[in-house]
Chains A and B, each alone.
Chain A
Amino acid sequence: MKKTATKTETVDKKIKAIVDKYKGDKTALIAVLQDIQDACRYLPKDALTYVAEKLAVPVSRIYEVATFYNAFSLKPQGKHLIEVCAGTACHVKGGFNLLEKLERELDIACGDTTKDELFTLEQVRCLGCCSLAPVVRIGGNIHAFLTQDEIPKVLKTYKEM
């Protein structure tokens, strides 16, 4: 088959390495997308067309998977991902107030990224740290028994990172 002008040549080396690792295994689609999400903090369009070509999976299927699962984002994410736990224990202990405080403090709505691309604010379905409720995870670090009062200080430490 004649090679069409895909983005294969222009796609990032990092992405190539990830996709090549799975040796065209179609069933590994989710794992491939997870690795790309981890590496780029989102799923770039050209990466997805490259995945489609290498795994021989239609782009439409990849789009279906990428939009089905909460772990994937098609928009670039901020440097620090803020995940506010919305588990039952956190809800009972007022976790929703933390989300509203973060929205006010960062001046963005849940799901959005700040203009300086430092923070992306998201709500997550239970981090399984119910004994520490309410919790917020920022860049993988769990902040336990968080209060609204502490939020500005916590955000500051990440801004300075």
Chain B
Amino acid sequence: MSKINTREALDKAAKKGLSTLIPAKIKITVGMSTSGIASGAQGVYDALAAEIKKRKLSILLTKTGSMGMDCMEPLIDVMAPGKPRLSYAMVTAAKVPQLMDEIAKGTLEPIRPFYRTDGEQSLITGEKIKFVKGALPKELKEIPEINEVPFYKKQIKIATRNCGIIDPENIDEYIARGGYSALAKALTQKPDKLIDDVIASGLRGRGGGGFPTGVKWRSCREAEGDIKYVICNGDEGDPGAYMDRSVMEGDPHSVLEGMIIGAYAVGAHEGFIYVRNEYPLAVANLSKAIEQARANGFLGKNIFGSGFDFDIRIAKGAGAFVCGESTALMASLEGKAGEPRAKYIHTVEHGLWNRPSNLNNVETWANVPVVIARGGKWFAGIGSKESTGTKVFSLVGNVKNVGLVEVPMGIPLKEIVNDIGGGIPGGRKFKAVQTGGPSGGCIPAKLGSLPVTYDELSKAGSMMGSGGMIVMDDKTCMVDIARYFIEFLESESCGKCVPCREGVKRMRDILEDICKGKGKEGDVELLQSMSQAIIDGSLCALGGSAPNPVLSTIKYFRDEYDAHIKEKRCPAGVCKPLITYSVLKDKCTGCMRCAKVCPTKAATGEKKKTHKINKKLCIKCGACLEACKFGAIKVE
């Protein structure tokens, strides 16, 4: 492969990419992110390939990353020249032959597309591409356009601009969407000018802390030292968060391009991507992307003929949450145990191997090419004043539309939950949203109009975090959630400093007692004072923010703590020692399902007669609740 070192060569690659991105023949794209594959996308892909072969059709079959609406997976896109792109949801391998009939005949029944896309605009170049030639046929008008689908309507995609559209293994498709043109532009400018632009954009660290990216770059550039590093933090450890996985899997080149630009700006020639051990597909796609970038001359010596050299290596994490902390991550990169160190020694001056190191999160890096291509001013126009641009969230938990969403900063929380997320399923009540992972907190439904920005979330006792947004309904016990996060942090604490190692452990003891009905008056106050000590005394952010889930649940859900402590009652019906299972006489049909699944034979009864649960035998495993189709199992 010849290296791309001129604009003309880049345009040529873009043309090649466009020929598969919007081909002159029918194209079928399957969403094959980790969650897509787990939902059966591989089977769908194989079935499509087999049908195409069997029918000897001239159809291009490709793969893509997460299309966003993960609860509708497997998702596939079908595109015919001159027609809108049609997206089909919940496709199964069994449905494929029928779907192929439809595609061959050009009909839309019986498997109706979920939505259509009439065209798109390149975020990098601003160029609009219309898929539809001429008037839209009447039957297609009945299919909602993507911008009319509530899930997509309020989203603006910057970091995930290519996810679910391009084939992540095809560099030309990335280039066709304007990829690597920001790099070409950057390399003609002075590094300081680039940093100015990033500062003007207001881009802040998307890993959670929200430190201004440009300011970090400048400090690293100005730090003394011949050898500097740029690092990508892909150790997405927050439970309930998978935005970075989706970007690394679905658009790895956006991360690479951001890093190359950043390296040029700070003066680094070596880069590292630290990826979680739990993300094999992200590692695979990034590795392929790096090879392609090298082959095309975007990595290596004399990039774009500018004289700038830079290369990237991937390091796999080994399953330690604390390695998401920058100093711990760097220790891990050096081959050591991932223990953090005191923050007053800045990593931009003394980081990896004691050299100036600039670390940014995956999503931050993915934003960089857009900032450079469109200018800092343009970027700053999106979102709110102090929190510019967009934020990707993984909207999960007890919400109807589960998936990856990218929204402008400042959007009210309830719009994400109710409009994009479609509200709470099963007619239950929206209780709280947990953001910021174990370092964050729970925001109650009553604060639904809170604008989602770094500062507002912090003020509410939570934090932006990396972007996990877990929706909770009235069946979620907030004391249990606090215990869950503290237990998580206890096992993930590296053990280096006492406040975190011992303090978190003691907090867990107290919370566990409360959940078991052994809580005492004054426990809440004790938790609060211990929290303050841990916040003040911990070495790194893991300990410093560890009490957040406890403090925020005490702040907003004190009544639940009181119910556990004073009344020995779990209002949400979660804490096992405090709940009992019983059968509702009027709902039980005597179907015997509960008796069949009960592991301890606590649930018994005769056919068509009301069943009973023997409280002495019941281990509260919830199997009967899961099995009962009539809502006849009561938990209180």
A: which residues have CB within 8 A of B? 26-31, 33-34, 61, 64-65, 68-72, 86-94, 97, 100-101, 104, 124-133, 135, 140, 142-144, 147-149
7 closest A-B pairs by beta carbon, nearest first, are A70-B319, A131-B70, A69-B318, A88-B240, A128-B242, A87-B239, A142-B38
Query: Which residues of chain B from 129 to 170 have any CB-CB distance to chain A below 8 Å in the complex?
Result: none
- Measured in the bound complex, the distance between the Cα atoms of B619 and A104 in whole Å is 11
Mask of B484-501 contacts with A, CB within 8 angstroms, 1/0: 110010001010000000
Known: A30-B318, A68-B337, A126-B240. A132 touches B627 (CB 8 A): no
B403 close to A (CB within 8 Å): yes
By DSSP majority rule, is chain A's interface helix, strand, loop, or mixed?
helix
Q: Are B335 and A89 in contact (CB under 8 A)?
A: no
Query: Which residues of chain B from 483 to 519 have any CB-CB distance to chain A below 8 Å in the complex?
Result: 484-485, 488, 492, 494
CB distance from A128 to the nearest CB of B (A): 4
Cross-chain contact of B623 among A31, A65, A149 (Cβ < 8 A): A149
Cross-chain contact of B315 among A31, A104, A124, A128 (Cβ < 8 A): A31
Known: A88-B239, A101-B623. A144 touches B39 (CB 8 A): yes
Q: Are A131 and B35 in contact (CB under 8 A)?
A: yes
- Measured in the bound complex, the distance between the Cα atoms of B433 and A88 in whole Å is 11
Q: Considering only CB atoms, which chain B residue lies closest to A100 in the complex?
A: B621
- Measured in the bound complex, the distance between the Cα atoms of B527 and A46 in whole Å is 46
Q: Are A128 and B396 in contact (CB under 8 A)?
A: no
Q: Are B71 and A89 in contact (CB under 8 A)?
A: no
Interface centre among B236, B238, B336, B403 (most CB of A within 10 A): B336
Q: Are A65 and B35 in contact (CB under 8 A)?
A: no
CB distance from A85 to the nearest CB of B (A): 8
B472 close to A (CB within 8 Å): yes
Known: A88-B240, A125-B321, A126-B237. A65 touches B336 (CB 8 A): yes
Q: Are B626 and A149 in contact (CB under 8 A)?
A: yes
- Measured in the bound complex, the distance between the Cα atoms of B622 and A88 in whole Å is 18
Q: Are B626 and A148 in contact (CB under 8 A)?
A: yes
Q: Are B623 and A131 in contact (CB under 8 A)?
A: no
B102 close to A (CB within 8 Å): no
B332 close to A (CB within 8 Å): yes
- Measured in the bound complex, the distance between the Cα atoms of B488 and A61 in whole Å is 25
Q: Are B622 and A125 in contact (CB under 8 A)?
A: no
B476 close to A (CB within 8 Å): yes
B11 close to A (CB within 8 Å): no
Q: Are A65 and B278 in contact (CB under 8 A)?
A: no
Query: Which residues of chain B from 274 to 330 have any CB-CB distance to chain A below 8 Å in the complex?
Result: 276-280, 315-321
CB distance from A75 to the nearest CB of B (A): 16
B: which residues have CB within 8 A of A? 34-35, 37-39, 70-71, 73, 236-242, 245, 276-280, 315-321, 332-338, 394, 396-398, 402-403, 434, 437, 468, 470, 472, 476, 481, 484-485, 488, 492, 494, 597, 599, 621-623, 626-627
| Residues of chain B lying within 8 A (CB to CB) of residue A90 | 239
Cross-chain contact of B335 among A65, A88, A132 (Cβ < 8 A): A65
Q: Are B621 and A101 in contact (CB under 8 A)?
A: yes
Known: A30-B335, A87-B240. A149 touches B396 (CB 8 A): no
Q: Are A131 and B621 in contact (CB under 8 A)?
A: no
- Measured in the bound complex, the distance between the Cα atoms of B620 and A100 in whole Å is 11
Cross-chain contact of A97 among B336, B470, B622 (Cβ < 8 A): B622
Can you give 20 contacting A-B residue pairs, CB < 8 Å? Answer: A26-B335, A30-B332, A30-B335, A34-B277, A64-B337, A65-B335, A69-B320, A88-B434, A90-B239, A94-B622, A124-B278, A126-B238, A130-B396, A130-B402, A131-B242, A131-B402, A132-B38, A132-B70, A142-B37, A144-B39
- Measured in the bound complex, the distance between the Cα atoms of B438 and A91 in whole Å is 13
Q: Are A29 and B236 in contact (CB under 8 A)?
A: no
| Residues of chain B lying within 8 A (CB to CB) of residue A72 | 318
Q: Are B597 and A130 in contact (CB under 8 A)?
A: no
Q: Are B318 and A71 in contact (CB under 8 A)?
A: yes
Q: Are B335 and A28 in contact (CB under 8 A)?
A: yes
CB distance from B531 to the nearest CB of A (A): 20
Q: Are A144 and B38 in contact (CB under 8 A)?
A: yes
- Measured in the bound complex, the distance between the Cα atoms of B263 and A142 in whole Å is 37
- Measured in the bound complex, the distance between the Cα atoms of B336 and A29 in whole Å is 8
Q: Are A125 and B403 in contact (CB under 8 A)?
A: no
| Residues of chain B lying within 8 A (CB to CB) of residue A65 | 335-337
| Residues of chain B lying within 8 A (CB to CB) of residue A26 | 335
Cross-chain contact of A149 among B37, B236, B597 (Cβ < 8 A): B597
CB distance from B313 to the nearest CB of A (A): 10
Q: Are B242 and A129 in contact (CB under 8 A)?
A: yes
- Measured in the bound complex, the distance between the Cα atoms of B38 and A71 in whole Å is 22
17 more contacts with CB within 8 A, not counting A131-B396, A132-B38, A133-B396, are A70-B318, A72-B318, A88-B240, A88-B470, A91-B484, A126-B278, A128-B241, A128-B242, A129-B35, A130-B241, A130-B470, A131-B70, A131-B71, A131-B242, A140-B280, A142-B35, A148-B597
Q: Considering only CB atoms, which chain A residue lies closest to B487 in the complex?
A: A86
- Measured in the bound complex, the distance between the Cα atoms of B73 and A100 in whole Å is 28
| Residues of chain A lying within 8 A (CB to CB) of residue B241 | 126, 128, 130
- Measured in the bound complex, the distance between the Cα atoms of B236 and A144 in whole Å is 20
- Measured in the bound complex, the distance between the Cα atoms of B394 and A127 in whole Å is 13
- Measured in the bound complex, the distance between the Cα atoms of B70 and A142 in whole Å is 15
| Residues of chain A lying within 8 A (CB to CB) of residue B597 | 148-149
| Residues of chain B lying within 8 A (CB to CB) of residue A61 | 336
| Residues of chain B lying within 8 A (CB to CB) of residue A149 | 597, 623, 626-627
Q: Are B494 and A68 in contact (CB under 8 A)?
A: yes
CB distance from A58 to the nearest CB of B (A): 12
- Measured in the bound complex, the distance between the Cα atoms of B40 and A143 in whole Å is 10
- Measured in the bound complex, the distance between the Cα atoms of B623 and A87 in whole Å is 20
Cross-chain contact of A104 among B332, B492, B599 (Cβ < 8 A): B599
Known: A33-B318, A128-B236, A131-B402. A88 touches B621 (CB 8 A): no
Q: Are B397 and A89 in contact (CB under 8 A)?
A: yes
- Measured in the bound complex, the distance between the Cα atoms of B620 and A104 in whole Å is 13
| Residues of chain B lying within 8 A (CB to CB) of residue A128 | 34-35, 236, 241-242, 245, 276, 278-279
Q: Are A129 and B34 in contact (CB under 8 A)?
A: yes
- Measured in the bound complex, the distance between the Cα atoms of B335 and A64 in whole Å is 11
Interface centre among B38, B315, B494 (most CB of A within 10 A): B38
